[in-house]
Amino acid sequence: MGVAGALLWRLRDMQLEQSEQFRLLAEENRINLRLLPPTRGLILDRNGVLLAGNEQNYRVVIKRDDAGDIDLVLGRLAKLIALTEDEIERARRDMLRNRPFVPVTVAERLSWEEISRVASNAPALPGVTPEMGLSRNYPLRDDTAHVVGYVGPVSERDLEALETPDPVLLIPRFQIGKVGVERLAEDRLRGRAGSQRVEVNAVGRVMRELDRVEGTPGANVHLTIDATLQNYALERLHGHSAAAVVMDTANGDILALASAPSFDPNLFVRGISRADFNELLENKHRPLVNKTVQGMYPPGSTFKMVTALAALEAGVTDGRESVFCPGHMDVSGHRFHCWKRGGHGRVGLVSALSESCDVYFYEMSQRCGIDRINAMSSRLGLGIRYDLPITSVAGGLNPTREWKRANRNAEWQVGDTINASIGQGFVLSTPLQLAVMTARLATNTAVLPRLIRDPLERSEVHAASLDLRPEWLRMIRQGMDQTVNDRRGTAYSSRVVAEGQRMAGKTGTSQVFSISRAERDAGIRRQQDLPWNRRNHALFVNYAPFDTPRIAVSVVVEHGMGGSSTAAPIGRDIMLAALNDGRPPLSAYPAPQRNRVQHEQQELEQRLRRPEDMRISRA
């Protein structure tokens, strides 16, 4: 009677007191809640052209416990769709690694014909299921690879970097942004997962679906990029290791951010082969590097506007006095040469800019000092890491006395100031920073670059004033105008003759290596005699129209040797494309150049795409 009483008491306790707990346990054993991946948001250009979208992805999965003889089933499957030995071995390995009821992807990105063959032969393929999902696709391929980036499967490193990972990241083969906008705008693009309630048996096999709640799609992201201009800029850089940035001077919108050569991001989404990846890594032109924001280069003579404004603000010159240039300057027992060995004679600020006289800026730097040059450089946007939604944005280097003390364990020298005055020595800038500097010179405002825009936002961006005196900027702009439009200017051959599109600019050539005495003795005296990676960098910055600036452009051609000969023609073409809806008009070029330019543009036209044909919405 005691034992029977104890059993009855226990039954009462389980059925009445603990019934709710056991009911929940039983329900969890019977019903599972599964996450459904959300649809990733689109990335569009400023005009609604699709830069990153989703495409149907037909795939075949297999479950080991339903397949029985997996080798037999995989063999039959290989007769219906193209499967390599590596794919078969990987599927076999994944099945053995996972639990028997977990589906394993055998092949994906199949055609409709292939997936139909699998479906029609289902009775002979136990455990094999054809499925349809979505996969990321970049229709413009290499055009926006460095800006948009790409997605890839979630890795352990990705999960470790998050304090509280979103449960959706644990879905097998779920993809997230790895670089570029895809990564920096991940939270906006990802969306929220849906849920599915399924009934399972004791070993976890799905018996039926009970309920489904679709997820919330990710938000679309609109960039300031103009896909047509981006395509033109990238193709205009074809054959070079180079970068070009195009900015709207009014609001800082980045219209083009082209880094050449580029790569096809679809390769990474689909699983890039080792051979293809090694080819990208070993390319001396570094296609995986976004040179527009990662590349740091001595700005060369494009920096001279900084030195000139620093001297004007310091009151050490009024800009109208002249300095004699004999072709060199001797300071503290060292001789610093001008690029024109015979000298420029007497030059003022305007002519020193247009003819790019080094000695003039050597003199100005000695008068105002590195501290004022550094302050003006920062004011014009150099040495600043801009907060853009792309990875690895570099801050450049705006050197100070403290920087040299901390990083070189040495005091600042007079020669350091002289080198910095012409954008050499320790000074480093990115093409993005040079474009910002040019836009600020054109507008006298502290315009900031931006890459993401709200298509519904119609209010104008009002940048703060730089408070530079109009008479100072008038001389700077006149010098940049004469650089392009005066016969003695270094970029005169790249002038624009179209009415209302007059361009102002500044060339630059930054030294990478100097020719050694031994090389000179061996007969190597010209840049083209040196190996490619030892030649000078070519730079050009410009804005237009001169009277009412709208567009600012910067171009850097790695080891391009001459800013006037290599970078300036590229900068002019990109500027004209920006002002004329993506295609430079032949009438904008000087008449003697039109035959040559027409031939070049015809060749270029064969490589250009028509991104506007891929517009899916009106932003």
**How high is the mean pLDDT of the chain?**
89
- pLDDT digit string, tens, across residues 126-161: 888 787 778 899 999 999 999 999 998 887 788 887
Q: Can you list the domains of the chain with their CATH numbers? A: 31-222 (3.90.1310.10)
- pLDDT digit string, tens, across residues 261-281: 999 999 998 778 888 999 999
3-state secondary structure of 590: coil
- pLDDT digit string, tens, across residues 463-515: 899 999 999 999 999 999 999 999 999 999 999 999 999 999 999 999 887 76
- pLDDT digit string, tens, across residues 327-368: 999 998 899 999 999 999 999 999 999 999 999 999 999 999
- pLDDT digit string, tens, across residues 279-326: 999 999 999 999 999 999 999 999 999 999 999 999 999 999 999 999
Distance CA 331, CA 359 (A): 11
The pLDDT of residue 520: 64
Query: What's the chain's length in residues?
Result: 619
The per-residue DSSP string of 2-32 comes to HHHHHHHHHHHIIIIISHHHHHHHHHHHHEE
The pLDDT of residue 509: 95
The pLDDT of residue 199: 72
- List the catalytic residues: 301
Confidence of residue 619 (pLDDT cuts 50, 70, 90): very low
Distance CA 525, CA 338 (A): 17
Residue 61 has pLDDT above 50, yes or no: yes
Q: DSSP class of residue 567? A: I
**Residue 334's Cα: distance from chain center in Å?**
41
- pLDDT digit string, tens, across residues 95-120: 877 667 667 778 877 888 888 888 88
pTM score: 0.86
Q: What is the 3-state secondary structure (H, E, C) of 524-561?
A: CCCHHHCCHHHCCEEEEEEEECCCCCCEEEEEEECCCC
